[in-house]
Chains A and B, each alone.
Chain A
Amino acid sequence: MPSIEVKSLKKSYGDLQAVNGISFEVNEGEVFSLLGPNGAGKTTTIEVLEGLRERDSGEVKVLGLDPWSKGYELHKRIGVIPQGFRFFEYATAREAITYYAALFDVKVDADSILKQVILDDAANIYFRELSGGQKQKVGLALSLVNDPELVFLDEPTTGLDPAARRAVWEVIRKLKKEGRSVLLTTHYLQEAEQLADRVAIMHHGAIMTSGTPEEIIDEFGSGEELLLRADGGLAEYLKRNTDLEVSYDSGSVIVKVKEKKDVVTAVSAIDKSGLDWADLRTQRESLEDIFVRLVGERGQEEGVAPTVR
C-alpha cells in the first residue's frame, strides 16, 4: 500500500487557489520530493497531509488514514518538521526530546537520537541559543522520537549554510536506509536531485510533471551535449561542415548530441579544423535547466556557481 495517496486535492484561502487539483502517490520506503518555487503550494499540500490543514476537496490517504479526521491516530505514526520549526525557548535539546517522548508515551534514548541527527555536542544548550542549523536538527530529532514509518520535512534546509545542509542530507539518507518513507518539500533543485527517488515539480498550485529525476530529464531534457572551450570560429566551422546543432556563448561551444555517432562526427570535425580548443566534456541538461524552462523563472540556489553554458 502506498504511504501517501493524493487524488485531486484542492485548497484555497479566500480568493487564492493555493492547490488546484493535484494527484500523486508516495510509495513505501521512498524519498519523494515536492519541488517548486515559493508560493507553489508545497507547504499547503504537506500541511494537509500532516493533518494540520483541512482540504477543500479531493481524496487524501496517509498511511491509509484521512489526516484531518484521524489526525490523532496518524500523529502517532508520522514525524513532522514544519517550516520554520520553533520550540520552547528555554528547553535544551535533550529536554526537548525527553518532553516530546513523554507526550508520545514512548521510551527513547535521547542521546542516541541526538547522535543520529549529529547534535550530541549541543545537547545541553537552550533552544534560543542554538544556531539555525542546530534548531533544524532539533526539529529533525523530535520528528524521529516516535520512530515514525513516514516523515514529512517541509523545507528542512532553508536558511542553512552548505555544511549544515549537507549534514541534514546525510540524516535524511539514513532515514531512507532505515526503511522510512519521506516526503520532502524544497525549492533547492540540488536537494531534490541529491535525495529524491521521485520528484514532482509544482507551480501555481499544480503539478507540472513527476517521476524520477532521470525520467524527467529524459522526457523534458534536450539530451546530452558536448561542451568545449573555444572561440566563435570553431563554432562557425562546425556549423558549416556538419549537420550538428551548434551554439556559442562567450567562449563556450555547445554541440547537441542526438545519437552516439554525433560525438564521433563532432570530434573528427574539430580535429580537422585545426582550430584551438580545450576542456572537452559532455553534459546532460540538468533538472535545474528543465525546471527553469518549465517554470519560467530562476530556481533558487544559494552559494552555487552558475553552470557553464
Chain B
Amino acid sequence: MRSREGLFFALIFPIILIVLFGAIFSGNGGPATVYVQNLDNNSAASNLLIHELNSTNSMTLVSVSPTQNLSKYLLAHSDPDGIVIPSGFQSDLASGMAVNVTIYGNPASTTSDTVYGVTVGVINAINLHIDQQALESSQKTPPAPVGVDSLSIKSQSFKYIDFLVPGLVGFAILTSPMFALVNISAQYKRDKLFKQLSLTPLTKSEWLLSKIVWYIMLTIISFVLMTATGVALFGAQITYSIWLVPFLVLGPVMFVSLGMLVGSVSTSVESAAVVGNLVTFPMMFLSGTFFPVNSMPMWLQNVAHVLPLYYVIDGLNNVMVYGNVSAALVDLAVILVVVVVFFALAVTFFKWRED
C-alpha cells in the first residue's frame, strides 16, 4: 500500500488495458483496400459484380490491369486482399456453368475476413437472383452457382502461424531490452554502481555497447528458437532472408537505448518501472504484434504509425511474409533515424559520475 507507484500501476493498468483493447477492436478499420482484376474483358456481368462490391462501401476497390500477375502485384504493394474475376465469367454465367471468383487474402488479417465475407455475401445475392430468374423462366436445370476460390497470397500453403511470427519476434525485440534496461539503469543509479564503475578504466560507452551487443545476440537466439519451435511444433514456414539481419540488429539497439533513457531520467526504480511500462505496453499491443494494424480504427492506426515498434514489425512482415524488400527498406530508414535519436539521447542523459 505504501508504494504509490505500485498502487497506481495495480489500479490504472487494468483500466489502460481495457481502454487499449476497446479502442483496438472498436469500430471498423475503415474500408479495406482491395485490388480487383477483371479478366473478363469488361463484360457487363463482371462490371455488375464490381459495381455491387463497390456499393457495399466496405471496400475501396482499386482496379488492376489484366496483364499483371495479381498475387505478385499484391505482394509488391504489401496488401493481402485481392479479387480476380476470371475470363469467361459472363459466358459461363449465361450458359449456367459453374464459375469461380478468386479471393486472395491473409489468414491472419481481419481485413481479409471482411473482404471474404462481403464478397461472398454479394455473390450469394447474385446467386439468389440468378436462381429466382431461373425459377421465373422455369428453366429445367438449375444454374450452377457462382463460387469462390479462396487463396492465400503466397503460392505455398501458408499457415496462420507464418503470419504470426513477425509480430511475435517484434514482441521479443521490444520487451527483452526494455524491461531489463529500465530496471538495470534505475537500479544501478540507485546503488551508485555507475559511480563505482566510473572509478575504473571502463567508459560509459563501452558499458552501453556491451548491453547492446548482448541484446542483439539474445534477439538473434530468440529468433532462431522461436522459428525453430514454430517449425517443429506447428509446421511453420519461415523465410530466412538476409534482410532480416538489419531488423534483428537495429531493433535491440533502439530499445536498449530507449530503456536506458527511461531509467536514467527517472528518479527512482519504482517510477522508472512505471514509465517503462507506460511506454512498453501500449507499444506492445498497438504496433501490429498480435493484431494487424489495418484492422484497427483509423485514428488508432495513426497512433501506431508513430510507434517505433510498428516499423520493426512492418519491416519483418515485409521481409518474411510479402517478400517486399523495397517497403522493408523504407521501414529500415525510419528505424535508422529513430535509433540515432534514441541513442544520442540515451548517451546524453546517462550520468556516469553524478553531480
Within 8 A of B (CB), among A69-105: 71-72, 75-76, 80, 82, 84-88, 100, 103-105
Contact with B along A42-65 (1 / 0, CB 8 A): 000000001111100000000000
Given contacts A82-B195, A87-B193, contact A103 B200 (CB under 8 A): yes
Is B136 on the interface with A (CB-CB < 8 A)? no
Q: Judging by beta carbons under 8 Å apart, are B200 and A86 in contact?
A: no
Could you tell me if B196 and A103 are in contact, using CB atoms closer than 8 angstroms? Answer: no
Known: A82-B192, A84-B192. A52 touches B199 (CB 8 A): yes
A121 to B119, CA, bound (A): 78
Query: What 1/0 flags go to B194-226 for Cβ under 8 Å of A?
Result: 011111111100000000000000000000000
Given contacts A103-B202, A105-B201, contact A53 B353 (CB under 8 A): yes
The CA of A76 and the CA of B355, in the complex, are separated in Å by 22
Contacts A52-B353, A52-B354, A53-B353 given: A72-B195 contact, CB under 8 Å? no
Interface residues of B: mostly helix, strand, loop or mixed?
A: loop
- Give A80 to B195 CA distance when docked, in angstroms: 11
The 3 closest A-B pairs by CB, nearest first: A103-B200, A86-B191, A103-B202
Q: Are B196 and A54 in contact (CB under 8 A)?
A: no
Would you call B195 and A104 a contact (CB within 8 A)? no
Q: List 21 A-B contacts (CB under 8 A).
A: A52-B195, A52-B199, A53-B354, A53-B355, A71-B198, A72-B201, A75-B200, A75-B201, A76-B201, A82-B192, A82-B195, A82-B199, A84-B192, A85-B196, A86-B192, A86-B193, A100-B200, A103-B197, A103-B200, A103-B201, A103-B202
- Complex alpha-carbon distance, A84 and B198, angstroms: 16
Q: A308: shortest Cβ distance to chain B, in Å?
A: 42
B191: A residues at CB distance < 8 A? 86
- Extra A-B contacts (15), CB below 8 Å, given A52-B195, A87-B193, A105-B201: A51-B353, A52-B199, A54-B355, A75-B199, A82-B195, A84-B192, A85-B196, A86-B191, A86-B192, A86-B193, A86-B196, A87-B196, A88-B193, A103-B201, A104-B201
Interface residues of A in 98-155 (CB under 8 A from B): 100, 103-105
CB neighbours of B354 from chain A (8 A):
52-53
Using Cβ atoms and an 8 Å threshold, which residues of chain B touch A76? Answer: 201
Task: Give the nearest-CB partner of B192 in chain A.
Answer: A86
Complex-state Cα separation, A21 to B200, whole angstroms = 29
CB-defined contacts of B195 to chain A, threshold 8 Å: 52, 82
**B203, closest chain A residue (CB):** A72
Instruction: Give complex CA distance A105, B202 in Å.
Output: 10
Chain A positions within 8 Å of B, measured between CB atoms, are 50-54, 71-72, 75-76, 80, 82, 84-88, 100, 103-105
Closest beta carbon of chain B to A73's beta carbon, Å: 9
- Residues of chain A contacted by B200 (CB below 8 angstroms): 75, 100, 103-104
Most chain A Cβ neighbours within 10 Å, of B196, B198, B200, B355:
B200
Residue numbers in B under 8 Å from A53 (CB-CB): 353-355
Residues in B neighbouring A85, C-beta threshold 8 A: 196
B residues near A75, Cβ cutoff 8 Å: 199-201
Which residue of chain A has the shortest Cβ distance to B206 in the bound complex?
A: A103
| B185–chain A nearest beta-carbon distance, Å | 14
Contacts of B192 in A (CB 8 A): 82, 84, 86
A100 to B200 alpha-carbon distance, docked (Å): 8
- Mark each residue of chain B from 122 to 156: 1 if its CB lies under 8 Å from any CB of chain A, else 0: 00000000000000000000000000000000000
**Residues in chain B near residue A71, CB distance under 8 A:** 198
Q: How far is the CB of B269 from chain A (nearest CB, A)?
A: 13
Residues of B within 8 A of A104 (CB): 200-201
Nearest-neighbor residue (CB-CB) of A145 within chain B? B200
Residues of B within 8 A of A100 (CB): 200
In the assembled complex, the Cα of A51 lies from the Cα of B353 at a distance in Å of 9
- Chain A: CB-nearest residue to B353: A52
A86 to B200, alpha carbons, bound, how many Å?
Answer: 15
Query: Chain A contacts of B202 at CB under 8 A?
Result: 103
| A71: min CB distance to chain B, Å | 8
CA distance A54 to B354 in the complex (A): 9
Q: Across the interface, name the chain A residue whose C-beta is closest to B198.
A: A52
CB distance from B32 to the nearest CB of A (A): 52
A82 near B355 with CB under 8 A, answer no
Q: Which residues B151-194 have CB closer than 8 A to chain A? A: 191-193
Residues of A close to B355: CB separation below 8 A: 53-54
**Neighbouring B residues of A105 by C-beta, 8 Å:** 201
Docked pose: A88 CA to B195 CA in angstroms: 13
Q: How far is the CA of A50 from the CA of B196 in the complex (A)?
A: 11
Q: Most chain-A Cβ atoms within 10 A of its Cβ — which of B191, B195, B198, B199?
A: B199
CB distance from B205 to the nearest CB of A (A): 13
- Cα(A80)–Cα(B202), bound, Å: 15
Q: Which residue of A lies closest to B202 (CB)?
A: A103
- With A and B bound together, what is the CA distance between A80 and B198 in angstroms? 11
Chain B nearest Cβ from A11, distance in angstroms: 10
How distant is A82 from chain B, measured CB to nearest CB, in Å? 7
Q: How far is the CA of A75 from the CA of B201 in the complex (A)?
A: 7
Contacts of B201 in A (CB 8 A): 72, 75-76, 103-105
Complexed CA–CA distance, A17 and B122 (Å) = 82
CA distance A51 to B191 in the complex (A): 19
